[in-house]
Amino acid sequence: MKKGSALGLTAAGVVLTVGLAACGGGSSQGNQAGQTGGDKASAPAAQEAFNAGVDKVFNPSDAKGGTLKFAISEDWDSVDPGDTYYALSWNLVRIYGRSLVTYTPAPGAEGRKLSPDLAEGLGESSDGGKTWTYKLRAGVKFEDGTPVTSKDVKYAVLRSMDKETFPNGPTYFNDWLDLPKDFKSVYKTPDVNTDSAIETPDDQTIVFHLKKPYAGFDNFAALPGTIPVPQAKDTGVKYREHVIATGPYKFEKVEAGKQYTLVRNENWDQATDPVRKALPDRYEITLGVNADDLDNRIISGDLHVDLAGSGVQPAALGRVLSDPAMKARVDNPTGARTWYTSIIGDVPPLDNVDCRKAIVYGADRVGLQNAYGGEFAGGEIATGLMPPSIGGWKKLDLFPTGTGDAAKAKEALAACGKPEGFETTMAYRADRPKEKATAESLQQALAKVGIKLTLKGYPTSDYFTLYAGKPEFVKKNGIGLATNGWGADWNDGFGFMSQIVDSRTIRASGNYNLSVKDKEVDALVDKAMLETDTAKRDAIWGQIDQMVMERAYVLPSVWSKSVLVRPQGATNVFVTGAFDMYDYLGMGVQQ
């Protein structure tokens, strides 16, 4: 029997060895996804190198044709431009929809700059920044050949504000447009005059009126909500089943939760579109692909891109970083996202700034970086809440970034009247191993200075609505610390900071700002909103970041990085600074 068992195990071992060898063998020899032109001579492949697609274009080409194959392990909120709040979706939507302005399809920081898209130019402000006017390009059509007018843009913006029908998208237009009080939605109050918010004096002009000045309105104009929707074709919640395209591609097949395919839109005219090259003939997007399998398929060349753009899974991480050939296919951008711990002052003794500082001093910052996956997959040790890609960022040096400063932590504890330490509870998302590791790292590090943490995990799905984001629950359960993370809607101070430092955003539940409740911070937020000079405005957001750190409202862990595997057989591959993932607008297929 022993002999037989050994034989069986040996056989299994052989299978596994072969399997793992194959896993590691993801070299350039694999099948290349999308290489459909068998009769065409292949162009020489560009030289692979680590980060070759981060600040420059990898494998540039204007060759058209082929199929770009995307996949994602989960579904996202919606393909309806008025009902989506995912970065991947805002990146993708540009292939079938044209917003007034959009992010320049260029690598790195250049990708954060706005370019006119449906509009002829960026917005022209008047009335001290309360009125914004855009002129639409002539000749832009919907996929059915109908000309796009400013009324289609107005309708699209107004419909996206109906949160009963489209709950997923952002609410910037709801919050800022000067709408009449009796307007409910385009469906419920279609006859209410909304010219006080949006005017369309002619078919090519649209004018937005805000309740208060905002100098960064072009960022609103870049939202997918400004992608025109023809009122006659609007089917409410069903519009996601057939979005009417204005971009170079239109939907051929929509199978919710399974698959989307997009083909060329014959009514898109390159002459009206200086932003897009429209290289591939077709996009195939498969949903619900096993995340590990998805990585393996990208490595082998069977797929081009993980649409999520958040990097490979832990199973593939060691393989792609340890094999030099594979590492040469890796891009490792830093994103506009910070993972941090909120230090909640509602719960004594954390209402005392020195007690909060004791936590920041005592934390093992290297341990926190490792908890999030280390230097490559986790990110850079964060010294502030605001990540480096946000305008106004400056490197702060307020707290040590090593493995914890016990002496300083004890000094802070003495200053807050708790020289022997104190006890508090830390919440984290139980189904997120990185956050669990963060909580455990903090528990171990802070125990050394006498701060005892009781860890409590809560499900991600209800984390903000029922637990850490619900002030009543937080106070009742004595939660002093809670893991948190935030990514920018767009890369300026307002886009990143406004929802997580302004105490006036806090409501009964569903909060993301768990700990910054400071009137001085609120006043600075107001000051930044009113400042029309970009440099001065950015400087104020930098000042807010410094104040949040000085008052120890948060303990930042890392500015996130992701390990992206560069696709084989794709051209114009680069990471856009707008979304910190591969740009889906400019990518083509190797011919």
Partner 1 sequence: MVTYIIRRLIGALLMLVIVSMVTFSIFFVVPRMAGATSEDFANRYLGKAATAEMAAVAAEKLGFNDPVPVQYGRWIKGVFAGAEYDTGASVEQCPAPCFGYSFVKRQPVWPELIDRIPVTLSLAIGASVIWLLGGVATGVLSALKRGSFFDRAAMSVALAGVSLPIFFTGIVSLVVFSYGMGITAPGGAYTPFEENPAEWAYNLLLPWITLAFLYAASYARLTRAGMLETMGEDYIRTARAKGLPESTVITKHGLRAALTPIVTIFGLDLGLLLGGAVLTETTFSLKGIGDYAVQAIMTNDLPKIMGVTMVAALFVVMASLIVDLLYAVVDPRVRLG
Cβ 425 to partner 1 shortest distance, Å: 16
Longest dimension (CA), the chain: 88
**Binding-site member from 285, 289, 371, 396 for partner 1 (CB under 8 A):** 289
In the chain, the amino acid numbered 139 is G
Q: Which of 499, 555, 550, 506 is nearest to 525 (CA)?
A: 499
Of residues 502-521, those binding partner 1 (CB under 8 A): 507-510, 512
Q: Which is nearer to partner 1, 169 or 280 (CB)?
A: 169
Token digits of residue 278: 């429209």
The reply on whether position 12 binds partner 1 by CB under 8 A is: yes
Residue 130 phi/psi, 5° resolution? -95, -20
User: In 3-state terms, what secondary structure has residue 39?
Assistant: coil
3-state secondary structure 85-133: CCHHHHHHHHHCCCCCEEECCCEEHHHHCEEECCECCCCEEEHHHCEEE
Q: Which is nearer to partner 1, 23 or 530 (CB)?
A: 23
The reply on whether position 185 binds partner 1 by CB under 8 A is: yes
- Tell me the window of 167-175, 344-352, 565-573, 581-589 that interacts with partner 1 (CB under 8 A): 167-175
Kindly report each contact of residues 198-203 with a partner whose C-beta sits within 8 Å and lies 24 or more positions away, as own/partner: 198/154, 198/157, 198/158, 200/149, 200/150, 200/151, 200/153, 200/154, 202/150, 203/136, 203/147, 203/149, 203/150, 203/151
Strands (E), 138-248: 198-202, 205-209
**Binding-site member from 55, 203, 293, 346 for partner 1 (CB under 8 A):** 293
The reply on whether position 433 binds partner 1 by CB under 8 A is: no
Whether 276 contacts 248, CB under 8 Å: yes
Cβ 163 to partner 1 shortest distance, Å: 5
Token digits of residue 240: 């996601």
- Tell me the window of 6-14, 125-133, 203-211, 334-342 that interacts with partner 1 (CB under 8 A): 6-14
**Binding-site member from 199, 292, 440, 522 for partner 1 (CB under 8 A):** 292
Q: Both ends of the chain: CA-CA distance in Å?
A: 57
- Strand order across the 205-209 sheet: 124-126, 131-135, 205-209, 198-202
Q: Which is nearer to partner 1, 21 or 41 (CB)?
A: 21
Q: Which is nearer to partner 1, 301 or 309 (CB)?
A: 301
Whether 553 contacts 519, CB under 8 Å: no
Cβ 255 to partner 1 shortest distance, Å: 8
**Binding-site member from 40, 109, 127, 163 for partner 1 (CB under 8 A):** 163
- Tell me the window of 288-296, 328-336, 433-441, 564-572 that interacts with partner 1 (CB under 8 A): 288-296
Helices first, then strands: H and E counts in the chain: 17, 23
Cβ 465 to partner 1 shortest distance, Å: 4
Cβ 488 to partner 1 shortest distance, Å: 13
The reply on whether position 19 binds partner 1 by CB under 8 A is: yes
Residue 402 phi/psi, 5° resolution? -90, -140
* CA distance linking residue 527 with residue 513, whole number of Å: 19
**Binding-site member from 28, 42, 75, 138 for partner 1 (CB under 8 A):** 75
Strands (E), 332-399: 334-343, 379-381
Token digits of residue 182: 């009796």
The reply on whether position 139 binds partner 1 by CB under 8 A is: no
Residue 387 phi/psi, 5° resolution? -75, 160
**Binding-site member from 38, 257, 420, 533 for partner 1 (CB under 8 A):** 257
Half-sphere CA count of 460, side-chain side, radius 13 A: 8
Cβ 294 to partner 1 shortest distance, Å: 8
Token digits of residue 412: 């802070």
Token digits of residue 343: 């230090």
The reply on whether position 297 binds partner 1 by CB under 8 A is: yes
**Binding-site member from 48, 117, 143, 162 for partner 1 (CB under 8 A):** 162
The reply on whether position 29 binds partner 1 by CB under 8 A is: no
Cis bond before residue 349 (omega within 30° of 0) = yes
The reply on whether position 167 binds partner 1 by CB under 8 A is: yes
3-state secondary structure 463-483: HHHHHCCCHHHHHHCCEEEEE
**Binding-site member from 74, 269, 526, 550 for partner 1 (CB under 8 A):** 74
Strand pairing partners for 71? 286, 306
The reply on whether position 346 binds partner 1 by CB under 8 A is: no
Q: Binding string to partner 1 for residues 377 to 416, with x set by CB under 8 A, is what? A: ----------------------------------------
Whether 504 contacts 520, CB under 8 Å: no
Residue identified by tokens 């990898």 is 58
Of residues 227-246, those binding partner 1 (CB under 8 A): 234-238, 240
* CA distance linking residue 14 with residue 30, whole number of Å: 22
The reply on whether position 465 binds partner 1 by CB under 8 A is: yes
Number of residues that bind partner 1 (CB under 8 A): 68
The reply on whether position 484 binds partner 1 by CB under 8 A is: no
The reply on whether position 258 binds partner 1 by CB under 8 A is: yes
- Tell me the window of 23-31, 203-211, 387-395, 422-430 that interacts with partner 1 (CB under 8 A): 23-31
Of residues 301-330, those binding partner 1 (CB under 8 A): 302
The reply on whether position 25 binds partner 1 by CB under 8 A is: yes
The reply on whether position 1 binds partner 1 by CB under 8 A is: yes
Q: Which residues bind partner 1 (CB under 8 A)?
A: 1, 3-9, 11-12, 15-16, 18-20, 22-23, 25, 30-31, 71, 74-75, 77, 85, 162-171, 185, 187-188, 234-238, 240, 256-258, 286, 288-290, 292-293, 296-297, 300, 302, 461-462, 465-466, 470, 473, 507-510, 512
